[in-house]
Amino acid sequence: MHIHILGICGTFMGGVAALAREAGHKVTGCDAGVYPPMSDQLRELGIELVEGYGADQMAFNPDVWVIGNVVSRARQPDGRPRYPLMEAILESGARYTSGPQWLAEHVLQGRHVLAVAGTHGKTTTTSMLTWVLEQAGLQPGFLVGGVPLNFGRSARLGSGKCFVIEADEYDTAFFDKRSKFVHYRPRTAVLNNLEFDHADIFDDLAAIERQFHHLVRTVPASGRVVVNGVEESLDRVLHQGCWSEVRSFGAAVSDFTAEGDPSTFDVLQRGERVGRVAWDLSGTHNQLNALAAIAAADHVGVSPAKAAEALGSFQNVRRRMELRGESGGVKVYDDFAHHPTAIRTTLDGLRRKLGTGGGRILAVFEPRSNTMKLGAMKAQLPWSLEQAELSFCHSGGLGWDAREALAPLGDKAQVGDTIDEVVRQVVAAARTGDHVVCMSNGGFGGIHERLLEALAKR
């Protein structure tokens, strides 16, 4: 089968491309404004990439067009379609489908799917769970919205029965407004956490809770729902109905709990010590992610003791507090955090790891997600940045005043309208021993390299 993927460089669609290629299909695709690591991964797989969405790509004449949710029927100011290729596909009557639907029909069918959902930590928890199953010899397939360092790629078919997938609540495609995860039909579903996000497609938290309940509805009676016991929103989801076994984690009365510092802790199952995790990660959020992975792995026969031991060699995911380099005595990190809660937990984890006297934290971020661009969470930004000594915001493209939003931080916050300006601000303020954390769900204009180069010249 020849598939041509529109929006191929997104983390999810890039994973679909990799799986299709591994399965022996011919894969081509197109996108605009691509950036690593996905573009590098696709080129290494020998997948032909086309820049843009020109209608001339109809000449590929694939068996099916696979449409990413970046594609819409939107038009440019002059009236021309923003995605002329999509218009040509519709006019021709050619066969097309969504990425999740293609995946469900050609990869997930007949597998024991373990799906990891949640507002935060999906990528990390999915990677943890995959590594646990790998270490247990189950040879799982997986699709992760990032690149797990233990595997060096975002997706593989795997030869075992299990398939682990990051289950996103964002909508499927312009012609299918259900959440992606409704297509996956998991036997093991992890509900990691849930708060308001994606203000561009959801009106409120209740709307997202309904989508999570749609996921719960697809889990069979012999399946398991693993749920964060401290999240009231997830309690409301389950109270809408649950027909499967439920295992909780995180709360004092949960089935799986932790005792100790997030960097080294005991795992308790209903109060009994059943394993110990000692690893390089930090932060309470990662401790909770670990409990979720352990509870999910238990459902497919991996003991908590073995799961905890496996996590000791877990190497995290690219762009999750990834050290990009050190220059002039200043360390520069890359992190995917873009929601205020994720920003706060990232900085809290680093502060806990550094301890007292471990150096200053300089937070550098861009409100790039659709939710942040709409300003739906701008009031939470000062709270999210409390652990940073200094904060720097790239305000380009925002429809709201970042300076006003960050005013409660006083002289601890600076705003730059361009990335070059932000780089100058950071370099002027940084000193030996500082930790600069760059946070964005995009490429951030290569700011990491620019900072390292500028710090070296200082």
pLDDT (tens digit per residue) in 352-406: 888 777 889 999 998 877 667 677 778 888 988 998 999 999 988 787 888 998 9
Question: Do the domain assignments include residue 78?
Answer: yes
Examine residue 317 and state whether it is found in any structural domain, yes or no.
no
Residues 309-364 have pLDDT tens digits of 999 999 987 777 888 999 989 999 998 877 888 888 889 888 888 877 788 999 99
Question: What strand order describes the sheet that includes 435-439?
Answer: 322-327, 330-335, 435-439, 361-365, 390-394, 413-416
Say if residue 61 is in the same domain as residue 91.
yes
State the residue range of the domain holding 117.
110-311
Residue 215 φ/ψ, nearest 5 degrees = -65, -45
User: Annotated binding site: which residue ranges?
Assistant: 118-124
Q: Is residue 316 part of a domain?
A: no
Q: What is the pLDDT of residue 190?
A: 98
Kindly report which listed range (183-197, 236-250, 396-410) carries the lowest average pLDDT score: 396-410
Spatial distance between the Cα atoms of 452 and 323, rounded to a whole number of angstroms: 11
Q: Tell me whether residue 163 is exposed, middle or buried, using C-beta atoms within 10 angstroms of its C-beta: 0 to 12, 13 to 18, 19 or more.
A: buried
Q: Are residues 274 and 191 in the same domain?
A: yes
Confidence of residue 457 (pLDDT cuts 50, 70, 90): confident
- Binding-site members for ATP are 118-124
CA–CA separation, 437 vs 430, rounded Å?
A: 12
Last residue of a domain, one of 280, 311, 342: 311
The whole-number average pLDDT for the span 451-455 is 92
CATH number for position 374: 3.90.190.20
The HSE-up count of residue 117 (CA atoms within 13 Å, CB side) is: 33
**How many domains in the chain?**
3
With respect to residue 104, please indicate whether it lies within any of the assigned structural domains: no
Provide φ and ψ at 251, rounded to 5°.
-80, 165
- The pLDDT score that the predictor gives to residue 102 is 98
* CATH number of the domain to which 127 belongs: 3.40.1190.10
pLDDT at 37: 65
- Per-residue pLDDT at 137: 98
Last residue of a domain, one of 99, 122, 149: 99
The pLDDT > 70 percentage for the chain reads 97
Q: Are residues 134 and 247 in the same domain?
A: yes
Q: Please check the confidence at residue 160 and state whether its pLDDT lies above 80.
A: yes
Q: Are residues 140 and 267 in the same domain?
A: yes
Residue 195 lies in a domain: yes
296 and 165 in a common domain: yes
**Of 287, 311, 335, at which residue does a domain stop?**
311
For residue 34, how many other CB atoms are within 10 A of its CB?
18
Give the CA count within 13 Å in the CB-facing half-sphere of 322. Answer: 20
- The predicted pLDDT at position 156 comes to 96
SS3 404: helix
pLDDT band, residue 29 (cuts 50/70/90) = very high
Q: Which helix (H) or strand (E) holds 207?
A: helix 205-217
The SS3 assignment for 307 reads helix
What pLDDT, on a 0 to 100 scale, did the predictor assign at position 260?
95
Considering the domain architecture, whether residues 374 and 297 belong to the same structural domain is answered as no
Per-residue pLDDT reduced to its tens digit, 90-146: 999 999 999 999 999 999 999 999 999 998 889 999 999 999 999 999 999 999 988
Same domain as 11, residue 140:
no
For residues 67 and 140, state if they share a domain: no
234 assigned to some structural domain: yes
- Is 283 in contact with 345 (CB distance < 8 Å)? yes
228 beta partners = 249
Please, what is the average pLDDT of the chain? 92
The closest alpha carbon to 186, from 102, 113, 295, 103, belongs to 113
pLDDT surpasses 70 at 35: no
Q: 117 and 93, same structural domain? A: no
Question: Domain check: are 354 and 452 in the same one?
Answer: yes
One domain for residues 87 and 126: no
DSSP element (H, E) containing 456: helix 447-457
pLDDT, mean of residues 270-280: 95
Q: Looking at the structure, do residues 205 and 224 belong to the same domain, yes or no?
A: yes
pLDDT at 34: 64
Would the pLDDT of 62 be above 70? Answer: yes
